[in-house]
Chain A
Amino acid sequence: ILNVEQSPQSLHVQEGDSTNFTCSFPSSNFYALHWYRWETAKSPEALFVMTLNGDEKKKGRISATLNTKEGYSYLYIKGSQPEDSATYLCAFNAGNNRKLIWGLGTSLAVNP
């Protein structure tokens, strides 16, 4: 059974803090790892699609790293802002079988 785990489940930080969270996935048969951001009352929005071991991607203050050999990805947010408050989801794809296996997400709340 393929399982994707995210930690922590929820996180409260102050505006300006930097933070990071983890996505763990099976290390065998890796094909792709997706990060999405889901704000309340909005649609999930793609952040990154990562495919290669050692990949690092960046979008503004958000960056992500990928380790396929050990089966984890980190998402970093530098200088958190209240508008970063959302649930951050990762999803794993094995062997390009077209189906994404989703984690339960990390819920981030940034206090002004």
Chain B
Amino acid sequence: GAGVSQSPSNKVTEKGKDVELRCDPISGHTALYWYRQSLGQGLEFLIYFQGNSAPDKSGLPSDRFSAERTGGSVSTLTIQRTQQEDSAVYLCASSLVAGGQSQQYFGPGTRLTVT
């Protein structure tokens, strides 16, 4: 079946603008995760969803970041008033269930560049 998809694949935006990143998980996967990788850094957890609820938002770097998931499927990550330090690859992953032993399936990522 189809894997995890993300759009756009690349986004260049001006500092101060808002951006929306989209993730389509694998059908039937109840858990969805957002990560980002900044240049020279490891994968940084941002938020995860179990169904439509987000039990752990601890990784969101600031209140400019928000995410939602609707219908237990598609998720959007919104960054308001983007800053240059937001430039990174944003990865989405899904798993059948949320859990430390659940294999996560990753999308191709969105490369965000803030100029």
Given contacts A43-B109, A99-B56, contact A105 B42 (CB under 8 A): yes
Chain B residues in 8 Å Cβ range of A70? none
Q: Considering the complex, give the chain A residue whose CB is closest to the CB of B31.
A: A98
Given contacts A43-B107, A46-B104, contact A98 B42 (CB under 8 A): no
User: Complex formed: what's the CA distance from A31 to B106 in Å?
Assistant: 21
A45 within 8 A of B: yes
**Partner pick for B104 among A4, A100, A103, CB 8 A cutoff:** A100
Could you say which of A32, A34, A42, A43 contacts B4, with CB atoms under 8 Å apart? A43
B43 lies within 8 A of chain A by Cβ: yes
User: Which B residues lie within 8 Å of A4 (CB)?
Assistant: 42
Q: Is A107 an interface residue (CB 8 A)?
A: no
Q: Which of A89-112 touch B at CB < 8 Å?
A: 89, 91, 93-105
Which residues of chain B are within 8 angstroms of A32 by Cβ–Cβ distance? 100-101
User: What is the CA–CA distance of A100 and B93 in the complex, to the nearest angstrom?
Assistant: 12
Give the most central of A42, A43, A51, A102: most B CB within 10 Å.
A43
Known: A99-B48, A105-B42. A44 touches B101 (CB 8 A): no
Given contacts A44-B91, A99-B56, A105-B42, is CB(A49)–CB(B106) below 8 Å?
Answer: no
Q: Which of B3, B41, B101, B107 contacts A96 (CB 8 A)?
A: B101
Near A by CB (< 8 A), chain B positions 1-36 give 3-4, 31, 35
Across the interface, B100 reaches (CB within 8 A) one of A31, A43, A103, A104, namely A31
**Cα separation A16 to B89 with both chains bound (whole Å):** 33
Given the complex of chains A and B, what is the CA–CA distance between A58 and B49 in angstroms? 31
Instruction: State in angstroms the CA–CA spacing of A52 and B72 once bound together.
Output: 32
A57 to B44, CA, bound (A): 26
Residue positions of A touching B, CB distance < 8 A:
4, 31-32, 34, 36, 42-46, 49, 51, 89, 91, 93-105
Starting from the known contacts A44-B106, A96-B101, A98-B31, 19 additional A-B residue pairs (CB-CB under 8 Å) come to: A31-B101, A32-B100, A32-B101, A43-B3, A46-B103, A49-B102, A49-B103, A91-B43, A93-B100, A96-B100, A97-B100, A98-B99, A98-B100, A99-B45, A99-B58, A99-B59, A100-B45, A102-B42, A102-B45
